[in-house]
Structures are given as structure tokens and as C-alpha cells.
């Protein structure tokens, strides 16, 4: 076998059909598209269209609820914080806020900050600066000799507040 003798298997490469090249080719005139209608024109891809019948994705029932006012917190358990302190990935003497926990790889996501949860055991004296904490987490941190400072949530302006601010300015 030589390099210049290498060939594909017979029938491995099929040449494309050239449409619209005369009636004798079998694919002339309408080029195999039939007559008239949207699909006989160029630039059409009707995905999910069911001929005017209500499409399947609209026939299926809607489920669940998506709260547009819901908060997105990165949830951090105290047991994991202690594990990271023991592994020397977090400095226990520093104030642990969202940035510090994120840098350590504990807090993922959390557009609205970090929320402490009480799962696990905390033995180190640690101070936190977070957006929220469960009752059990607060008790566990204080029991270990640490403290939790809660950051107030950013207040979203409401029409009534805007009117009150406008009246105050006048």
C-alpha cells in the first residue's frame, strides 16, 4: 500500500444532488419542493409548528411558581466553615464576609449575599458579616465565642417611597 493509493471505500462519499437543473434530472422545475406554500420558498424553518393546532408545548400544563421577589443567598453551613478553618483554607481571626467565603470556595453564587445555616459543629471563635443567619447558626456561633453581624438588605424603591422622598424634598 502506498500513500498515493489511499482511497475511500466505494460509496463512502456521496456527491450532492444538484436541484433545479432541468426536467430530465428528476429534480428540475420545483427542485423537489412541490408547488406553492411556505415551505416551497427559501429561508423557511417551521420548528414546532403544528399546522394551526395548539402546539404541544402550549398544551402541556404549567407547573410550579417562580417568585420574582425571592432572594438568592449562598448557603453556608457552620460545619463546612469549621472544616475549612481546620484545613487552614480560611483565617479564623479575620471577619468572614461574602468575599472571604467566596475566595475560599465555600460560597457559590449568592447574588443577595450569604446566609449561615447551623448544620455541623463550630468550635472556633469566628466573626461573620453576612446577609442572614438561621436561629441555630446564631446560637452556635455565640456559643463558640464568635459574633454575627447582619448586613441590612438593600431596599428596593417603591412608588410610595418615591412620592414620600419627593414630598420631603419640596
pLDDT in tens, 55-64: 999 999 999 9
Q: Starting at the edge strand that comes first in sequence, how are the strands of the sheet with 132-133 ordered?
A: 74-77, 114-117, 132-133
Please give the residue range of the domain that contains residue 82: 74-150
Q: Give the predicted TM-score (pTM) of the model.
A: 0.55
| Any domain includes 111 | yes
Distance from chain centroid for Cα 115: 19
In a domain, 156, yes or no: no
Q: Judge whether 82 lies within some domain.
A: yes
Q: Per the structure block, which three cell numbers stand in for 58?
A: 402550549
Q: 170: Cβ–Cβ under 8 A, 6 or more apart, which residues? A: none
Mean per-residue pLDDT for 2-22? 94
Average of pLDDT values for 142-157? 82
Pair 10, 16: CB distance under 8 Å: no
For residue 145, give the CATH number of its domain.
3.100.10.10
Q: How many domains does the chain have?
A: 1
Inside any domain, residue 48: no
Rounded distance, CA 22 to CA 26, Å? 8
49, part of any domain: no
Amino acid at each position: 500500500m502506498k500513500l498515493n493509493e489511499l482511497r475511500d471505500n466505494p460509496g463512502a462519499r456521496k456527491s450532492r444532488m444538484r436541484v433545479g437543473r432541468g426536467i430530465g434530472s428528476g429534480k428540475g422545475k420545483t427542485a423537489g419542493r412541490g408547488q406553492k406554500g411556505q415551505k416551497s420558498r427559501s429561508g423557511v424553518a417551521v420548528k414546532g409548528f403544528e399546522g394551526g393546532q395548539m402546539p404541544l408545548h402550549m398544551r402541556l400544563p404549567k407547573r410550579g411558581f417562580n417568585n420574582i421577589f425571592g432572594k438568592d443567598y449562598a448557603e453556608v453551613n457552620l460545619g463546612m466553615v469549621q472544616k475549612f478553618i481546620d484545613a487552614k483554607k480560611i483565617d479564623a481571626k479575620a471577619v468572614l464576609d461574602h468575599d472571604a467565603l467566596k475566595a475560599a470556595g465555600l460560597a457559590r453564587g449568592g447574588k443577595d449575599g450569604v446566609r449561615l445555616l447551623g448544620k455541623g459543629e463550630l468550635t472556633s471563635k469566628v466573626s461573620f458579616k453576612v446577609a442572614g443567619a438561621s436561629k441555630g447558626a446564631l446560637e452556635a456561633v455565640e456559643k463558640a465565642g464568635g459574633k454575627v453581624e447582619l448586613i441590612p438588605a438593600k431596599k428596593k424603591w417603591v412608588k410610595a417611597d418615591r412620592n414620600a422622598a419627593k414630598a420631603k424634598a419640596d
